[in-house]
Amino acid sequence: MTVRAMGAFSGGLDGLLSARLLMDQGITVHLATFHSPFFSAEQGRKGAALLGVPWRSIDFTGEIMALLAAPPSGFGRGMNPCIDCHAAMFRILWETARGEGFDFIFSGEVLGQRPMSQNRGSLNRVRNLSGTGGILLRPLSALLLEPTKVESQGLVDRTRLLGLSGRNRKPQIELAGKMGFTNIPTPAGGCLLTDPGYSKRLRTLMDRGLCTPDSARAIRAGRMFDLGDSVALVGRSEQDNRKLEEHPAGVMMRLDGAAGPLGMLIGKPRRDNLTALARLMVLYARVPGTIRVVAEGVGPFTAAAESPEKAESIAVRLP
């Protein structure tokens, strides 16, 4: 009988090693990486290619947006609801895997590697919240955890699993060498919800009822200004401008006939907040002479100033 397992895989070394441990036992492994406005599946795609196993990405946007609004287990240091996020990922992964005839799911989690979300209590809580019971295997720390149903039913050989714990990466790096991985992936991380600066921006959006997948993506770029019940973004560079254009989450503002920052107003457009954004655009434009600003989607709107120093003189005329 072929045993089949599906892994939750961010693309990091721990996930890679977990998958290989199982593959070395003759288990058929597939991998899945979740993506949302806060983390991408790209590193997972690359990691799975190193192993040469089937891989898929799963859109997690709806789940993570709901968790951000009300995470039953609370947030970590930033806006990261890690316990509930992991639990939801495993629940979805098992629903998917079970529907396709897989025998169990696994992850690269290591006991004690992250003090808050991967201590023994958190690992057990995630398992219980996910509703996956005994079919969630953590191959790298299995010997330090209670045997799962997967092990007691003989689907995997527990003696060939590991008992790693803590933050020291040396054992994993040595194991990667023994397994012949020459290109060791950098730690996956990469979740914006753990970033203090981004978390602050996101909190501002949420407190004003402005958080959507598009606005959560838009605030990854540009300078951000809190305008009370709305938020303004002003591009700092061409790259910022491009990112803002890729994720329109409100009224877009641009300089008329001149290169410069792109602006975005997230929230209900009114004369006062459009004026505030137009002023910011002019201030950061640093273009000599008269500057005209045009906005899209709010009718024939323009604002002009003779120079950045005159930004305060801008008064917006709405149709």
Among 29, 191, 244, 316, binds ligand SF4 (CB under 6 A): 191
Q: By C-beta, is 64 or 282 nearer to ligand SF4?
A: 64
Q: Is 193 in the site for ligand SF4 (CB under 6 A)?
A: yes
**Sequence-ordered list of residues with C-beta below 8 angstroms from that of 153, at least 6 positions apart, any chain:** none
Residue 118 or 230: the one with the smaller Cβ distance to ligand SF4 is: 118
Nearest Cα neighbor of 75 from 175, 183, 206, 216 is 206
86 binds ligand SF4 (CB under 6 A): yes
Query: 101: which residues sit within 8 A by CB, 6+ positions away?
Result: 4
Q: Annotate each residue in 140-179 with x if it binds ligand SF4 (CB under 6 A) or - if it does not, as one string.
A: ----------------------------------------
CB contact burial 13-37 (16+ within 10 A = b; e otherwise):
bbbbbbbbbbbebebebbbbbbbbb
Is 80 a binder of ligand SF4 (CB under 6 A)? Answer: yes
Asked if 194 touches ligand SF4 (CB under 6 A), the answer is yes
* Total residues interacting with ligand SF4, rule: CB under 6 A: 9
Closest distance between ligand SF4 and the C-beta of residue 189, in Å?
8
Which residues are paired to 225 by β-bridges? 232
18 binds ligand SF4 (CB under 6 A): no
CA distances from 58 to 62, 96, 110 (A): 11, 10, 23
CA torsion sign, 190 to 105 to 144 to 85? positive
* Binding footprint of ligand SF4 on the chain (CB under 6 A): 39, 80-82, 85-86, 191, 193-194
